[in-house]
Amino acid sequence: MSKGHKGSPSSSRASSHAPNTMDHDLREAFMDLGFEEGLGQPLDERELSEYVEEIPTLTPLQICEQLSEYGYVGQDKPRRSMSLMAFRHVQRLRYIHLDGIPADELPPKSNHLLVGPTGCGKTYMVETLFRHILDLPTVLVDITTYSETGYVGQDVTSILTRLLYAADGDVGRAEMGIVCLDEFDKIASGQNNAVFAGAGTTKDISGLGVQRELLKLLESTTVTVPTEFSHSSYQQHLLMSTTNIPFVACGAFSGLKLVTHLFNKEPHIGFTAKTASQAPREIAVSYRQEEMDQTRHFQQYGFLPELIARFDRVIPFQALSEETLTMILRQNLLSSYQREFELAGVELVVDKSVLERVVKQALKRETGARGLRSTLAYMLEDAAFEIYSQPGIQRVEVAFKNGEVAVVTDG
């Protein structure tokens, strides 16, 4: 991995064009304390510019179309919003590193929060968009494995360690990457009624503790990052800037619909009053944008208002409709099973009635595309058992007969 030489013209250009580099004396002071030299040094601006130039330059519409080509179905409004966010991120990098425009003259990086029921395509969209289409360093982290610094569990700053690994140890590339905080809703504090000025009356190291440490990380700041996944105080560290690292948080937020309902319902008394059993308790729920714009809903759910405020956009994802599930089933899931059977020399034919039953069962399970996969796997169990147990079968058909799944083999 290359690095700029101290005092060289390339290093000075990197300092003027890229705001994520620090003062030379400050870096030297950190190195004296044991921070790793080399990884923390500014990269050569020419090599950094060449990397930025290789990032695909697509319009928001082209990015939307690319998502469809990768098999993404549905979620039109969130898809437009995330495509625009990705476009602006790439444009910002090009303005800074190719055109030499100071970062403070441009809009800051944008963090997004994606809210929607399980299996609706939140994490899949982020991974497809940034890792596969734009080919940027991208990490998807399960935020539930992190805890407050000093306690058992991973420190929040090690999220950037993962990003560094995704960039093959290249700090310059890592500082342009994307961090996806999956299962974000799981760090909601269970002590949300006992929170005063951002501090709980009891210690909550995996809830409020993690939320507090994310506050600074989501902003444009410089962080001391460990180079290894270890709690040892002797390991090497480096400095990374989050100025150009957008954070995308994803969560199902189960139960949030009930919170919004309680906040928005009109008071009634007598026979017109709604009981608690009439409140929405579905799993596959859809949210309106107005519900997402109320920070108090998330505060009641167990989040610090300051943390939610660090997301420029809170994007609601809709529960997948029957039509969308049918498209996902035909285009993605069924084709993968047919390919598996084809590799075994068998043609797989699934009757339309079976596909309709799979979709209806998935809707009943309320787990979106995940429900499709589990239901289809169950429907094809007998077919898979037959072809792998009896070599020589060339064709297998799965259909409904007398209300049950029947397997007919030919060969």
- Number of residues that this document lists for the chain: 411
Q: At what angle do helices 352-365 and 368-379 cross, to 10 degrees?
A: 130
Q: Where in the chain are the domains?
A: 9-316, 322-410
Token readout for 87 is: 């476009």
**pLDDT grade, residue 24 (50/70/90)?**
very low
Which among 356, 352, 288 has a CA at the least distance from the CA of 322? 356
Task: Say which amino acid occupies 395.
Answer: R
Arithmetic mean of pLDDT, 116-135: 94
Q: Which CATH architecture has domain 322-410?
A: Orthogonal Bundle (1.10)
- State how far the Cα of 268 lies from the Cα of 50, in Å rounded to an integer: 64
Helices marked H in 250-329: 256-264, 289-292, 295-301, 305-308, 322-328
pLDDT tens track for 66-75: 999 999 999 9
pLDDT tens track for 145-184: 887 655 556 789 999 999 999 998 899 999 999 999 999 9
**DSSP string covering 85-145:** HHHHHHHHHHHHHTS---GGGSPPP--EEEE--TTSSHHHHHIIIIIIIS---EEEEEGGG
With pLDDT > 90 as the criterion, what percentage of the chain qualifies? 48
Mean pLDDT of the chain: 82
- State how far the Cα of 160 lies from the Cα of 237, in Å rounded to an integer: 11
Question: Which pLDDT does position 9 carry in this prediction?
Answer: 35
Task: Say which amino acid occupies 294.
Answer: Q
pLDDT tens track for 81-107: 999 999 999 999 999 999 999 988 999
The pTM (predicted TM-score) of the whole model is: 0.80
Does 279 score more than 90 pLDDT? no
Arithmetic mean of pLDDT, 173-198: 78
**Which CATH number does 9-316 carry?**
3.40.50.300
pLDDT tens track for 325-348: 999 999 889 999 999 999 989 999
User: Which neighbouring-strand residues pair with 389?
Assistant: none
Arithmetic mean of pLDDT, 248-260: 90
Do the domains 322-410 and 9-316 match in fold?
Answer: no
